[in-house]
Amino acid sequence: MSRLIDIEPLLDVTINMLTSKLNEKFVDGPSKGKVCMMDDWLGWLAWDSMANVTFGRHYGFIEKEQDVDGLIEDSVNSMRYFAPVCQIPWLDYLLDKNPIKRIGPKPQLTGTLYAVRAISEYKQEIAEKGLKSQNVPHLLDKYLGLEEQHPGMVNDAQLVNWLLPTVIAGGDTTASAMRAVVYFLAKNPETKQKLFFELD
């Protein structure tokens, strides 16, 4: 729980960005009074939150109101493949590891390239400014500290291996959990009121 408190300011930035965008669009803006597809917004919130906690910057889902560079689509397609393969492992040899014709999800190149770019740009920013950009350290900060302490063991490839699963797994699972909570609260107004009362 103390780890969550450490990163809470990073989450607050993303939540504030979401609420500002929703107010601007659905309260005061052109979509006032129209249906707000909260499942999309919660997905974008989850992915941008995980990116901010991991890299110290957002992917831009909330800002652009869409799946940026197909990251979510790639992740969903991978999950569709891995769900049955995890239950029937020999299918992986028949499909993705088939020596004649590979039949599997495309590699997660978009996410990998984003992670490589984020690491490179952040290292360059530190070199130019001589200090880290935020008061609250994100995961990339912490892992760069490990790279400094153990230069022979930790390199950029290892950083990508550590950072990418955090964003991909965290974005998908967090989005699913938030969507379920909001859905069931909307279906059960008395429970929603009880939650609001306890939060106040």
Residue 92 has φ and ψ, to the nearest 5°, of -60, -40
Q: What is the pLDDT of residue 153?
A: 87
What confidence tier does 7 reach under pLDDT thresholds 50, 70, 90? Answer: confident
Structure token digits, residue 140: 């990339």
Query: Which one has a higher pLDDT value, 64 or 171?
Result: 64
H helices of 88-155, where? 90-94, 109-129, 139-149
> Model confidence over 138-195: pLDDT tens digits?
889 888 888 889 888 888 888 888 888 887 777 888 999 999 999 999 999 999 999 9
> Which residue, among 68, 26, 20, has the nearest Cα to 47 in the 3D structure?
68
pLDDT at 133 over 60: no
- CATH number for the domain harbouring residue 148: 1.10.630.10
Q: For residue 42, what pLDDT is reported?
A: 96
Q: What is the mean pLDDT of residues 101-129?
A: 83
* Non-local CB neighbours of 136 within 8 Å, separated by 6+ positions: 6, 7, 9, 10
Most confident of the following: 58-67, 110-119, 130-139:
58-67
Question: Which residue range is the domain that position 59 belongs to?
Answer: 2-199
Backbone angles phi, psi at 151, to 5 degrees: -60, -30
Sequence length of the chain is 200
| More confident site: 18 or 56 | 18
Roughly what angle, to the nearest 10 degrees, separates helices 38-55 and 2-22?
A: 130
Looking at the structure of the chain, the number of domains it has is 1
